[in-house]
Amino acid sequence: MKLWVQIAIAILLGSCTGFILGPQAELLKPIGTLFLNLLGMLIVPLIFSSMTCGITNIADPNKLGRVGFVAVALYAITTLLAIFLGIGLSHWLQLGSELHLAQVAPIEAKPLPSLSELVSSLVPKNPIKAFAEGNVVQIIVFSTFFGIALNMAKEKAKPVITFLEGLSNVMFSLTKIVMLVSPIGVFALMAWTCGTFGIDVLVPVIKFLFSYWVACVLFVLIVFVPILRFMAHVSPWPFFRSMGAVFATTASTCSSSASLPVTMQTAEEKLGISKGLTNFIMPLGCSLNMNGSALFQAMSAIFLAQVYGIQLEVQHIVALTTTVLMATLGTASIPGGGLLMLSMVLASVGIPLEGIAILAGIDRLRDMATTTLNIAGDTVCAVYVAKRENELDLATYYQETAVKIPQV
């Protein structure tokens, strides 16, 4: 039985168990936490080794700059499209116009960093501290400079490169071991989630939750599918079929970072993306490309503005778009990170922060779709860049489907 089928069954059984046990499902939470910890222990060494090796495998500085520019440009474009879709859909549906929230205790918002502060925080003062804290963005920046330095050192750096390549291979092997127990961890996580939140909590905001899920599907159809079909010139069906295990993992862990090892393994072994590009692009996308988070934050801001009867003018929409774009750059790729950044987004346009409390009740179910869309966006961009650079193995990409390889 394929891994994604096992995980899908675990999600179903875990959901049923959670609804049956109710609050007592809390007893299963330590098992799910243990699984998240197993995934978490892979993140830092995997990102550092794979990102550095990815850069050393791209020896041509011109190609490195070209690949990085194309990837980041595509990240920015898809993120903006997600924001526009969220704002437009919420305005059209008037999601919060009939809902009146009771005042609850306010949630403290962190001040939005200035552009200079945001840029300066990208470079770690102490790389060891960045590794210890799991600061993914700073680790990626350090890995980028370290990989470039290894390329400049050439022959003298070969022992270091060999070590990092060995470390990268070991981390992928360790990922396979961890994934053997993933159905058990997923079962426990879903049982705890459903037992804690239940159905009643969803009733007041079920319209918003359902609309957000629909928006995620629409974004896949109107953005991701065309990128695969018309820009990468590949069939979308093999992509989504191969990503089954990844999507099941993201839906259960709600963490882009925790899902990164599985995503990278799938990108290389099932989608046919070269190892060098996989190691470089996927960690980069994990931190910079947050389509699902941008869509959620845009929809939530409009939703809560309607709830409180706040009329947003053009300047508010511009401020909202800018803030969401900046916030997604720093959104923690961990469960619940979206709510922390949403507080900054709401503060930027004067929407009461109290509304976050009611959205927190459905955050876990919302985060399932958010993380899945984030990871899908990272991988779609990686497929496009790989095809553009002639580093996409089409035989591998189409290996699990009956779709014929298109002649481009």
- pLDDT of the residue at 107: 36
Residue range 189-196: mean pLDDT, rounded: 77
- pLDDT of the residue at 327: 63
Question: What are the b/e assignments for 206-218, b being 16+ CB within 10 Å?
Answer: eebbebbeebbee
Residue range 71-93: mean pLDDT, rounded: 92
Q: What is the pTM assigned to this prediction?
A: 0.69
Judge whether 373 lies within some domain. yes
- pLDDT of the residue at 232: 94
Domain count, the chain: 1
pLDDT digits (tens, 9 = 90+) for 119-169: 777 788 899 998 888 776 688 788 888 988 998 888 888 999 899 989 988
- pLDDT of the residue at 240: 93
- pLDDT of the residue at 64: 73
Q: What is the CATH number of the domain that holds 113?
A: 1.10.3860.10
Judge whether 82 lies within some domain. yes
Which structural domain range is residue 152 located in?
Answer: 3-397
Judge whether 403 lies within some domain. no
Judge whether 386 lies within some domain. yes
- pLDDT of the residue at 84: 95
pLDDT of 401 strictly over 70 = no
Q: Which residue has the higher pLDDT, 239 or 407?
A: 239
pLDDT digits (tens, 9 = 90+) for 382-394: 999 999 999 999 9
% of residues, the chain, pLDDT over 90: 25
pLDDT of 110 strictly over 50 = no
pLDDT of 15 strictly over 70 = yes
pLDDT digits (tens, 9 = 90+) for 17-70: 888 888 888 888 898 888 878 877 877 887 788 778 877 776 667 777 888 889
The C-alpha atoms of residue 113 and residue 111 are separated, in whole angstroms, by 6
28 token code pair: 């299963």
Mean pLDDT estimate for the chain:
80
Residue range 357-361: mean pLDDT, rounded: 61
- pLDDT of the residue at 387: 94
- pLDDT of the residue at 86: 93
pLDDT of 334 strictly over 60 = no
User: Of 87-96, 190-199, 252-261, which range is least confident?
Assistant: 190-199
CB 139 within 8 Å of CB 48: yes
CB 208 within 8 Å of CB 95: yes
- pLDDT of the residue at 106: 41
Name residues whose C-beta falls within 8 Å of residue 63's C-beta, 6 or more positions apart in sequence: 389
pLDDT of 252 strictly over 70 = yes
pLDDT of 245 strictly over 50 = yes
- pLDDT of the residue at 101: 47
Residue range 212-221: mean pLDDT, rounded: 95
pLDDT of 395 strictly over 70 = yes
End-to-end alpha carbon distance in the chain: 34
CB 192 within 8 Å of CB 365: no
Judge whether 408 lies within some domain. no
User: Which residue matches tokens 């053009």?
Assistant: 314
328 token code pair: 């997604």
Q: Specify which of 57-71, 287-301, 309-323 reaches the highest per-range mean pLDDT.
A: 287-301
Amino acid at 248: A
Name residues whose C-beta falls within 8 Å of residue 174's C-beta, 6 or more positions apart in sequence: 42
